[in-house]
Amino acid sequence: MSRISYSVKNVKVSLAFYMLVLLLNFFSRRIFLEVLGNELVGLSETVMSYIGFLNLAEMGLTVAIANVLYAPLYRGDREQVTELVSLLGWLFRLVGVLIGAAGLLFAAFIPWIFAKDIAGGLAPGLIYAAYFTFLTTTLLSYLVNYKQNLLVADQKGYAVTKVFNLCLILKVLLQMALVEWAGAGYLTWLALEVVFGVVFAVWLEAVVRRVYPWLRSSPGLGRGLVRKYREVFAGARRIFAHRIAGFVLVQSDKLVISQLLSLSMVAFYTNYSIIIGRVTTFITGTLQNSYAGVGNLVAEGDRAKVKLVFWQFNAMYFWLGGTVAFGFYMLVNPLIGLWLTPDRYVLFSQPVVLMLVGTLFIGLVRQTVQYFLNAYGLYHDVWAAWTEAGLNVAISVWACLHYGVAGVVAGTLLSTGLFVLLWKPYFLYKRGFREPSGEYWLTILKYIAILAGSWLLVGWLAGLGWLPSPTTWGGLAVNALAVPLIYGLVCGAAMYALSGGMRCFVKLVADLLRGAWKKWRAKLGSGGR
């Protein structure tokens, strides 16, 4: 299969599972909030954030080895692929031991970290149960599931998507049934997390053996290859700093809120962040093979093709980012108002929602530059990662003390905006493309002007009163279809007229659809005979 064929297959699989999981989460979160309560749901989300901190022990080894894997996969060098997967297995076994030891040490501080919640009546046993549950599932990903990185690097991430989401759907269905109708409690909910963590590990191993029957990797073999692949460790040291920044940006908000506000406020904040996360994960997950595809493209060395793909991705992500951000701003509060029980949630004000929109937009449009930074192995800007992380924590803590949850969101928005939108593109042009970045800034300013103009126009149209009120499910459904569609058409038309990258992207999509139509016609014709 070609690079584009793999990407299309990944889109199909991701889209199908996204719709299923989105629908399931819509019902499950309401049930869990109503039956388990805000405090226990907030506890789970807070504990997972602390476990994310332990995951920093991975030190970027996954990305570093993926970068080294692109070339042998492109050449079909099975021997080197086996060596690299073996090295990854040995390194991850060490990381798993390190995380396990650090996790046991961290557990000693739980009574102090959750002192406010324990004083409020939360049982310490439940906190420890949640902590060791998520620690166990995390260890499985290092000790058993490390081979999934080969599938992703080889543009077969759709296989991981299938297994992961099928396990997720079965797990959540059982959790819902037992909690809602069988009267089970939080401990049963946690037990199913462990059970399906094991199921996912066993199932994934079977998939890897089927896809790569020739793969005879082992952690023991990897131990003797450390000196041969020293470049992996050189890259990992730089990636580690970026992992810290990524953790801070994704996880620190919940930790700051839990420590300075409450676990219940974590649950309220997560009502918004889970929607942002689902939308971002859907788009980036649907296109996750693009990471490997861009890596292989850079390995080929065709500079003209690299730049062409770069501008196609940029146009696509700015258009998608603007459309999704506008829809989120217009619809998120009405959605939460209808979705959750009124006495169990807090709706954020429009200024806070607007800042959340900014983080959602940045999280999407950053993908293009990140694809190419990964492909070129550009992680040398360690200072930027540390500065971004420090700035985020400092602003979030100070602003949370003065402005509550709004200050936390503002800290994330400011730190990501400075480094993701300004520094990262400059660094890519200087060290990756090795050319001036003027064309990038001119194009991006043009995109932002188009997005802003479309926002004002469509916002004015939506405010004329011809759309039904989104305070009912029917009205919300009409708005959810009409508002993003109108914005997408207006913004897309303007970008098509003014952007060569957008025209190339539309042509690529048209060619793919035309090819799919011909295949369907041919299949239909052969079936008829």
pLDDT tens digits along 167-182: 889 998 898 888 888 7
Residue 450's pLDDT band, with cuts at 50, 70 and 90, is very high
Domain range for 115: 36-228
Q: Is residue 53 part of a domain?
A: yes
Q: Is residue 168 part of a domain?
A: yes
Q: Cβ neighbours of residue 257 under 8 Å, at least 6 residues apart? A: 265, 266, 269, 400, 405, 408
| Burial profile 67-76: b = 16 or more Cβ within 10 angstroms, e = fewer | bbbbebbeee
2: helix, strand or coil: coil
- Decide if pLDDT at 289 tops 80: no
Q: What is the pLDDT of residue 80?
A: 82
Beta carbons of 60 and 243 less than 8 angstroms apart: yes
Total domain count, the chain: 1
Q: What is the pLDDT of residue 455?
A: 92
Q: Is residue 203 part of a domain?
A: yes
Q: Is residue 161 part of a domain?
A: yes
pLDDT tens digits along 412-444: 888 788 888 888 888 888 887 888 888 889 988
- Judge if pTM exceeds 0.75: no
Q: Is residue 83 part of a domain?
A: yes
Q: Is residue 56 part of a domain?
A: yes
Q: Is residue 95 part of a domain?
A: yes
Q: For residue 523, with 0-12 CB atoms within 10 Å meaning exposed, 13-18 middle and 19 or more buried, which class applies?
A: exposed
Q: Is residue 401 part of a domain?
A: no
